[in-house]
Amino acid sequence: MVGEGGVSRPAEGRVSTGNPSLDRMLEGGLVPHRPYLIVGPSGTGKTTLAIQFLCEGVRHHERVLLVTLEEPPNEAKVNHRGLDPELSRVEVFDAIPDIMRYERTPFKDIASVRTAVPFHDVPLRIRQSPELSSVEVTITALEQMLRTEVIRRNYTRIVIDSLTALQYFCMKGFDPVSGAQSFLRFLSDLRVTTLLTVESPLEDIDTPERMLARGEIRLFRWELDGQTVRAVGVEKFRGSSHDVRLHPYRIGPQGIDINLDVTISRDTRQIIEPLVPRLPVPPTAVPGAPLPSSVTPLIDEVRDLILLGEDVAPARSEIEAALAATEAELVIGSAVPEMALA
């Protein structure tokens, strides 16, 4: 559906996250016009997943906005260049406060001095703080900017990166509970599908924003046997059923790659199913007989790859080749006595 200015608005229904596997976990995508959280510790790919969501909007000719309060736009442009060419058309609003000064200087409202620009117009150098005045970022000013820009530019998708920084730097004087409730209510009233990233190293802490958001996608990271394991789960999704299991993922240049064929236990953090992919068995093999010694280490390798969310196709091909070679040896071996009698 095309709105004012030829900008497309998504049809009513589900809104794709830009990640087909996550859409399947959500049974079709996000319910539109609601705020959702992407929660997890540092380094789990929260911003990457959120920008995938914006790039999906660009692919559908929507107007989308990233409000960054942590990562400078020039760094975000470089760090997520694998999401080009869509990334270049994502508009970014730099809401990072200027460096505070010891002496009293006049402050300017952020909405009066900064505007959203497409990533392709973002310079590679970091924005310099002004020498004579600083920009004050308040929750009131940010809400006013968002309200004005949504009306003026017809945004359909917004990412706030991050809500944690917003609470630390912009909600001064607000009670944490009422501040989060007010901001999430404000986003709901905007009628825009919004993702907010939240820095949360602890898994079992309920915060006001987690209780109030319409849905929560959580990214996990554990150290297991000297390796880093990442998993994703949909912790809450109001108004819809969803996949409640945890699945491993890896972070690549094009975003987050989720392995839906594998489930990870929340308690033991080990693979639940399947332990190994279903593999062909030589028809001449004896049922219950141990696998050939050449295959066993390859199966162990597949287990490790599955746990890490890596591609198992090369290792699977090696296993199939080893099994095929074993089958050939068994067939030749069974034919030897008959050949001797002849």
Q: What is the pLDDT of residue 258?
A: 96
Name the CA dihedral angle for 152, 14, 257, 274, rounded to a multiple of 10 degrees.
160
CA distance to 159, 290, 317, 331, per residue, from 324 (Å): 51, 16, 10, 11
User: Do 57 and 157 touch, CB atoms closer than 8 A?
Assistant: yes
Please give the single-letter amino acid code of residue 24.
R
Coil, strand or helix at 104: coil
Q: What is the pLDDT of residue 175?
A: 76
Place of tokens 């309920």: 206
pTM for the structure as a whole: 0.76
Q: What is the pLDDT of residue 250?
A: 94
Task: Return all residues near 23 (Cβ < 8 A) that are at least 6 apart.
Answer: 14, 16, 17, 29
CATH homologous superfamily of 4-264 equals P-loop containing nucleotide triphosphate hydrolases (3.40.50.300)
Q: What is the pLDDT of residue 317?
A: 75
Cis? peptide before 129, omega within 30° of 0: no
Domain ranges of the chain: 4-264, 274-341
Neighbours of 310 (CB within 10 A): 17
Q: What is the pLDDT of residue 180?
A: 81
Q: What is the pLDDT of residue 231?
A: 96
- The series of mean pLDDT values per 10 residues for the chain, 342 residues long, is 48 86 96 96 96 98 96 94 97 82 55 85 76 70 92 96 87 75 92 94 72 90 88 94 95 93 89 58 51 66 64 71 64 43 38
Task: Return all residues near 105 (Cβ < 8 A) that are at least 6 apart.
Answer: 132, 133, 134
